[in-house]
């Protein structure tokens, strides 16, 4: 299981790889994730690029990940 931690001083989220313990520093921060559109295909490309980078860092393929957003 990957660990996501908010780093207030860096204003970023640090993602810790579950096997290697390496960290990915992510500048993507949401004040309210539930405000995002439910259909991720309509999100801005910049957000999708960062999510692709996180998935690559975690060695995940797109068919291994589902991001349902509760409303």
| Structural domain includes residue 71 | no
- pLDDT on residue 35: 80
| Structural domain includes residue 35 | yes
| Structural domain includes residue 70 | no
The percent of residues above 90 in pLDDT, for the chain, comes to 21
Tokens of 50: 């960062």
| Structural domain includes residue 21 | yes
| Structural domain includes residue 34 | yes
Angstrom distance (rounded) from CA 35 to CA 31: 9
pLDDT averaged over the chain?
81
Mean pLDDT for the stretch of residues 1-26: 90
| Structural domain includes residue 22 | yes
Reported as type and span, the H/E element at residue 17 is none
| Residue 12, domain extent | 3-64
Looking at the 3D structure of the chain, how many domains does it have? Answer: 1
| Structural domain includes residue 69 | no
Mean pLDDT for the stretch of residues 7-18: 90
Angstrom distance (rounded) from CA 12 to CA 65: 22
């Amino acid at each position: 299981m990957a660990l996501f931690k908010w780093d207030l001083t860096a204003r970023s989220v640090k993602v810790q790889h579950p096997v290697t313990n390496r960290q990915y520093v992510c500048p993507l921060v949401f004040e309210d994730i539930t405000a995002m559109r439910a259909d991720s295909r309509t999100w801005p490309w910049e957000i999708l690029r960062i999510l692709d980078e996180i998935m690559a860092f975690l060695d995940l393929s797109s068919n291994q990940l589902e991001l349902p957003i509760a409303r």
